[in-house]
Amino acid sequence: MVSQAVRSGKTGEKKYNNPEQSNINQMKRSDVVENREENVCRMKRAPVPENCRTDIVLLGLNHKTAEVELRECLGFSKDEADDALQAFRDSPAIAEVVLLSTCNRVELLMAAHDADQAVATAKAYLSATKHLPVSQFEEALYVHTGDEAVRHIFRVAASLDSMVVGEPQILGQLKDAYYTATLRRTSGVVLNRLLHKTFFVAKRVRTETGIGDRAVSISYAATELGRKIFGTLEEKKVLLIGAGEMAELAVEHLIQHRAGDILVANRTFERGLEMAGRFNGQAVRFEEIPDCLRAVDIIISSTGSPDFILTKDQVRKVMRARKNRPLFFIDIAVPRDIDPAINRIANTYVYDIDDLRDVIEENIEDRNREALRAGRIIDEGVIRFRQWYDSLDVVPTIVALREKLWGIAETEIRKSLGHSLSHLSPEEGQAIRRMTTAMINKMLHDPTIFLKKNGCHSGKTAYLDATRKLFKLDDEEGVLL
């Protein structure tokens, strides 16, 4: 459970503070966080270690580890996210950073020379700006480094770590977070490559598995069933009876699929007029419902009536006038509004709340099976990213560059010795090879010295990445920088 300090009125004010209060250097509330000033100083004086290879670090919490009250307290508005990125950019402990903050998760993806120092810096910043002692949120945090951090961000983008597996919103949210980081210049060579690879992997999961194919919400399931019955929902007329959040969401989904006219019937006509205005539809009186059945194709009902709103006899009469055109009923009410006996009439389809839940549970099982296939795609992506990341060491890059140049030279030597220089003796051929080797060594001497000399320079990864791009030392697919 979240402590009382999290739920207190003082904590709840955090979203409305002046942005200046998010500047960690100005936080002086020692009554909230012990040793606050020491934590802040820790952000400023982190030294760069001798082994300056950056680690990929991910720190965060989500709906699985933290209750909504804590997620609200630690969440970031757009302005707060900008301030945070600027603070982390100014910290020597963190080389690169992307901040993802949604209703279900807050995550910091970092490239850092010292993973422990980066994590401590992030915790100190969260504590200072959110006015919470670290002890009140530390247990909810998870920390991943290296391959596990890469795997986690791949799973997040592919919606395998979402509350609803397969939901598409998280990928767009991650792209927005990355775009913000690029604008604030807090994402560099490593995270640029990682995020582009992340988007590529997420796209593969979407296109090569069925993880997002089946509905897992009541309103969306109703829409998908309608598409199966009619083939297309375009220009299908809809009658909404009553009110209710799920019913209204179902209407919105139908509108998104280009449904036709929307009729709204409510026991209170004024309420019906109000709802019809929201959907750009037409209000009808409750007594007109049976007549409306002649023209509409889809009926969504959600009232508080203890009795059926529509009976089998009413619908049977209408079907004759409709010439047996299909009629689809979505009954979201409890008790039910639609007589289930209507299902016995040809070309009528009645789905109540339990039917829709059964569809959802079956679809969730299907998504979980597809998640196994998605996991294999993610594992492959992690391996490929690791291969690229390891290549950022100086020695593999120099070896790859030398092998590429010598491979080109050897191909040309063989071609020449087999044709225009075929008259040369084997000894003369070897002399040409020795001369070529000497030339390659001399050409690579200065670049090699430069890369080794700058092995711990702050721009090391940029130099190595540029070298690999200039000479096309990588052949990894799908990553555009």
Residues in the chain: 481
**Is 41 annotated for ligand binding?**
no
**Is 244 annotated for ligand binding?**
yes
Kindly state the helix (H) or strand (E) to which residue 107 belongs, with its residue range. strand 105-112
Helix segments in 48-95, DSSP class H: 68-74, 78-89
**Is 168 annotated for ligand binding?**
yes
Tell me if the bond preceding 335 is cis, omega within 30° of 0: yes
Catalytic residues: 103
**Is 103 annotated for ligand binding?**
yes
**Is 167 annotated for ligand binding?**
yes
**Is 169 annotated for ligand binding?**
yes
Q: Retrieve residue 228's tokens.
A: 């199966």
**Is 246 annotated for ligand binding?**
yes
For CA atoms 136, 140, 146, 149, the dihedral sign is negative
Ramachandran area for residue 96 (φ above 0: left; ψ -120 to 50: alpha; else beta): beta
**Is 242 annotated for ligand binding?**
yes
**Is 245 annotated for ligand binding?**
yes
Who contacts 356 (Cβ-Cβ below 8 Å, separation ≥6)?
218, 221, 222, 225, 330, 332
**Is 151 annotated for ligand binding?**
no
**Is 222 annotated for ligand binding?**
no
- Cβ-in-10-Å burial (0-12, 13-18, 19+) of 462 comes to middle
**Is 409 annotated for ligand binding?**
no
**Is 187 annotated for ligand binding?**
no
Nearest to 276 by CA among 250, 300, 240, 301: 240
Distance CA 2, CA 69 (A): 7
Distance CA 467, CA 473 (A): 8
Q: Which long-range contacts (CB under 8 A, 24 or more apart) does 167-174 make?
A: 167/212, 167/216, 168/206, 168/212, 170/102, 171/199, 171/202, 173/100, 173/102, 174/100, 174/198, 174/199
Which residues contribute to the annotated binding site for substrate?
Answer: 102-105, 162, 167-169, 173
Which residues contribute to the annotated binding site?
Answer: 102-105, 162, 167-169, 173, 242-247
Which residues contribute to the annotated binding site for NADP(+)?
Answer: 242-247
